[in-house]
Structure 1
Amino acid sequence: MIKLNLFNERIMPMMRILDSHAHLDHALFDTDRDELFESMAQAGIETAIIPGVSPERWSKQLDVAKRYSCPYGLGIHPWFCADNPQQALDLLTDKLNSYIEDPYLVAIGECGLDKIHKDNWHGQIIALQAQLSMAQQLNLPVILHVVKAHSEMLAMLKRYSLPRGGVIHGFYGSLAIASEYIKLGFKLGIGGLILNPSARKLRTCVAQLPHDSVLIETDSPAMTPRNAAESRNTPLILQSIIAEIATLHKKTSVLISEHAFRNTVQLFDLKLILI
């Protein structure tokens, strides 16, 4: 049984925490979003980055980001790619042009490759290539979703020179794969899976990752840790993720939180929007 230590008053005031990936615009938060953000503030969670997933969802995403002063990305998730994604890519170009001066626009994505959802594989490739090109042109980092497609993703990233790099969100691969991404200037987003004792490969990998390569995230409302109190995931598990990474590294939670906070601020250039 995993004990989620969400409100440790002894360490909370010493830590600055950001959720580097949370879909807080999701409908599952519609009934209590205000209360959730209040609880996040009480837990020392300063903000969350809200990724974009499809043209149909950008409007609500942007409304939520504005209301709660959250940084965000704009992108087309591989699950939402059509076989011919050009129309969606044109809409993304228009949206990026409209918001490029907004300091809260901090990334392209969530975009990527997912072989579990491979019926639209051709569209995923086209959409990812276009979004990597946008990241180049706009000098923005990318938020990447990669499922059973690391070799394809690494090959593609080597063909693009991304000045700001990005993050492999929800990373659960081996240390060898992690090292390849790090060489290309990418960070690794570590989420609730680290709390599952059976995730041995990930736990072994994370224990050996350099501190400057790790971001913490939840992917809320998805990726709920095993044995959590509710089926809906929220940023309130971040302190437990930090504590678990600290245990694996034999370091303090404060040290891990400091590195994760600094890594996120640097990658997404959040200095102007965080006090």
Structure 2
Amino acid sequence: MSAQYSIIDTHVHLDFDDFDDHRAYLFKQMRAGGVNTAVLPGVSPVNWQKQIQIATEYDCLFALGFHPWYLSDHIGKDLDALSRILEKNKNNNKLVALGECGLDKLCQTPWQKQLEAFHGQISLADHYALPLMLHVVKSHGEVLSNLRSFKPKKAGVIHGFSGAPELAKAYYALGFKIGIGPLLLNANAKKLQKTVNELPLNAFVIETDLSQEPSKKPLESTNIARILHLIIDKMAKMHKKSGVLVSKQMLANSIELYNLQ
């Protein structure tokens, strides 16, 4: 595949254990396809040190935080641990966001525990002047309400967005980028396609959200560059723009989102 675009995968879980055997190959393949770097989202304190080590070894970026699915029974202690590791890495230019955090009505984690973790992470994002990487499932009204109440100093990104234009516009009005992933390539994703059609290109960043290595599929199925190229080509067709123009806008949006130099 020709590296015709220069792009960033804004959300990919290459620190997960599933990728241990093929991580080096995937980073090499990614860069050969024009993907300059990737952002490794934080999901649990268990993963943080591994994220930092991989970001150092492979010269990529990372976020620190905890995902609603992985919350423990000790939110206060976990927030203290997050505060300590953020303080330790506050001058590490590979740390670009706080998250992924947010609210999820489909997971088993009690709602009050999710809210406590979410509020605490918004506060830490403010303290360290980091954008928020948000995971939102069936709870857009509650997340928007919290964002309007807390008014975070930095906005961030709504990762893996799948909703209607009205929701995306509400986040965009608060300064958030909309994370667009492989769902856009699904012919049945009509709401998301309408969103991408109706919002300006500077509202979006692109992501693969890869989180596991398919054990019975060739590595080509996890070709990060190929997936991102397909998303760009789809967006270009929808906006009647060239793929090169869209790729340049996605790169500029990612640089703006994560304050990259």
1:52 touches 1:58 (CA, 8 Å); kept in 2?
yes
Shift of 1:118: 4.0
Partner AA of 2:228 in structure 1: L
Taking structure 2 as the reference length, what is the TM-score of the superposition? 0.94
User: Is 2:154 aligned against 1:164?
Assistant: yes
The residue type paired with residue 94 of structure 2 is Y
Q: Once structures 1 and 2 are overlaid, which stretch shifts more, 248-257 or 78-87?
A: 78-87
Aligned length: 258
| Structure 1 unaligned spans of 5+ | 1-6
The corresponding residue for 2:112 is 122
Amino acid at match of 2:182: G
In structure 2, C-alpha distance between the alignment counterparts of 1:167 and 1:148, rounded to whole Å: 17
Q: Does 1:43 align with 2:33?
A: yes
Give CA-to-partner distance per residue, 1:170-199, whole Å, 9 cap, x none: 001110000100011100000000010011
In 2: Cα distance, 1:207 partner to 1:215 partner: 14
Equivalences for residues 161-240 of structure 1 within 5 A: 161-221=151-211, 233-236=222-225, 237-240=227-230
1:17 counterpart residue number? 7
What is the root-mean-square deviation in Å for CA atoms of aligned residues?
1.8
- Percent of aligned positions that are identical: 41
CA distance in 2, matches of 1:248, 1:51: 29
Gaps of 5+ in 2: none
In structure 2, distance between residues paired with 1:186 and 1:92: 23
Q: CA deviation at 1:102?
A: 0.6
Q: Distance in 1 between matches of 2:66 and 2:176?
A: 19
Contact preservation (8 Å) 2:18, 2:212: no
Structure 2 residue aligned with 1:145: 135
1:89 aligns with 2:79: yes
**TM-score of the two chains, using structure 1 as the length reference:** 0.89
1:125 deviation in Å? 0.5
Amino acid at match of 1:162: P
Q: CA deviation at 1:119?
A: 3.4
Q: Which residue of 2 aligns with 1:105?
A: 95
